[in-house]
Amino acid sequence: MRKKIISIVLAIWVLMIVISVVLLFLPRTIHLDGVGVKYRLGGEDNREPEQTVHINMDGKRYLTTSGDYIFRGTIDIEGEPFPVPEDQKNLEIRFHEGHGLMEYFIFENGQTGIFLYGTLFVDRAFTQLTIAISEENSNGEQNSKRWSSEDGLMLSMPATNRSEAIQLSNELMETYLGDYILK
């Protein structure tokens, strides 16, 4: 009788572990819709006026066996004219340590291209985000983009002003930036 009880308890325990693992790896629906702030880093003389933008992120989040995430879906940012055909706006972003490249693969006229918007940083629950927006290099190199922690362009959500946006960026980018603090 005692062996039978132990066997039943062990079977229930194993079943619970299997169910937990399966649930952990099931895709999670992501729907993030709200207002963020687009702003430029740097001192007073370098700053552009901050801009309030609407952001909509829809898709699925998948957990990998390494503990990283993959996001498959779309990210729409008000006022951002992505040079990407409508039918190719789906993203697959592989996150490592909370960040991944927001890049679009474009197939047109037998040619393949990549449009890099920037590096996307998210919290584990996908409720907050910040993007280090890549900009064209001023050195004349074609298709060369960059971002700088000194004067780079940023977008953070949720935020209503530059101060909130910078605080959120510093929190989400902490591992990436090390001891550096964005200003």
Distance of alpha carbon 60 from alpha carbon 69, whole angstroms: 10
Tell me which residue range forms the domain holding 102. Answer: 27-177
Q: What is the pLDDT of residues 57-114, one digit of tens each?
A: 999 999 888 889 999 999 999 988 888 988 999 999 999 988 999 999 999 888 888 9
* Confidence (pTM): 0.85
Q: Report yes or no on 127 lying in a domain.
A: yes
**Quick one: how far is CA 120 from the chain centroid?**
4
Confidence of residue 139 (pLDDT cuts 50, 70, 90): low
**50 in a structural domain:** yes
Residue 44 lies in a domain: yes
CA distance 94 to 90: 13
The pLDDT of residue 176 is above 80: yes
Number of domains, the chain: 1
Residue 13 in any domain: the answer is no
- Asked whether residue 22 is assigned to any structural domain, the reply reads no
**Residue-wise DSSP of 63-109:** E-TTS-EEEEEEEEETT----S-GGG--EEEEEBTTEEEEEEEEEET
CA distances from 43 to 47, 51, 101, 118, 151 (A): 6, 17, 27, 22, 8
Average pLDDT, the chain: 89
Contact predicate 71/100, CB 8 Å? yes
Tell me the per-residue pLDDT of 114-134, one tens digit each, with 9 for 90 and over: 999 999 999 988 999 999 999
In a domain, 89, yes or no: yes
Gyration radius from the chain CA atoms:
21
Residue 6 lies in a domain: no
Domain presence at residue 58: yes
What CA–CA distance (Å, rounded) separates 50 from 147?
A: 17
